[in-house]
Amino acid sequence: MRTSPLDSDGDGLSDHDETHRHGTDPRRYDTDGDGLGDGIELGLADLDADPSTTTDPLDPDSDGDGALDGFNGTDPCEDCNNNGLVDADESSPTAPEAFIAFRPGFNLFAYPSAVPADHGDCRGLAAALGGFDGAIRSISRLNPATGAFDLCDADGGDFAIVAGEGVLIESGAAPSQVWPWTPTCPQRTLSLGQQLVGHPATPRDLTCFAWIEAQAPGLVSAIQRLDTRTGRFESCAMAEPGGGTPGAAGIDYPIRAGQGYLFHANAAGPLVLPGCP
């Protein structure tokens, strides 16, 4: 039986090809830190809306214009507004908007803006994505008070959708949405244990390790994202081997608006959102 090549960082390139063909880092989604994933820079057709325009995954400023490939504030650039979507697919390449594409199966989602009234609860969000009788099978939230998931599906259940709080969406199809938005910076306090979190206003260079390090020392031990291609969680963590100095472990993936992340908090404390005032 043949298996898919290992892609540790989820950038669309196998670890073997990154190491032996491209010279990119198989453990970093964005090797050169310019805001574009390695697979997008190399023009992979299933990731890049315009594969004919490629950039160098080892050079953060491929055209030498003094600006990062992924965000240079002018047109043309591949991702002018740093929302993770190559601009050819956007309705307005320079306006802030969040493109959210769901894969069949489970997806972690966090609303990327102030939540409109008609999306303010689980059933409203499901309707916006095609409804429980269409694309969406269920939506769940991790209740920090109980540590259990609250379920909302065709049979019942409901809860509020809150900006900056992640939810788990089970999709039976591949719906997508584009939300124009003004990024919000909600105040949130982490609880001890696990909770689903989003960042509605991500800086272009924010990565998982940097987000952990921005928190109060020792507050967050790990952040996980769900790789929708494999259905597996990917983790970055601050480990203390042998009780010594904390060190980074895992995959340093980029943080994107609209995605939900599973935080592991060692105590209660305020959540820091880098890039927010």
| 165 and 194 share one domain | no
Q: What are phi and psi of 181, to 5 degrees?
A: -160, 150
| 156 and 232 share one domain | no
Q: In what order do the strands lie in the sheet with 166-171?
A: 105-110, 166-171, 136-143, 148-153
What is the pTM (predicted TM-score) of this model? 0.66
Give the pLDDT of residue 115.
Answer: 82
| 86 and 150 share one domain | no
**Does 162 map to a domain?**
yes
Print the domain residue range for 80: 1-95
**Does 73 map to a domain?**
yes
Give the pLDDT of residue 206.
Answer: 83
| 31 and 52 share one domain | yes
Residues 53-73, buried b or exposed e (16+ Cβ, 10 A)? ebbebeebebeeeeebbbbbe
**Does 107 map to a domain?**
yes
Q: End of a domain among 119, 145, 180?
A: 180
**Does 276 map to a domain?**
no
**Does 277 map to a domain?**
no
- Number of independent structural domains in the chain: 3
| 167 and 140 share one domain | yes
Give the pLDDT of residue 78.
Answer: 53
- Answer for the pair 132, 154: CB distance below 8 angstroms, yes or no: yes
Mean pLDDT, contiguous 10-residue spans, the chain (277 residues): 71 89 87 77 65 72 62 47 53 54 83 79 91 91 88 94 89 72 76 89 79 92 85 82 63 82 94 84
Tokens of 8: 């540790």
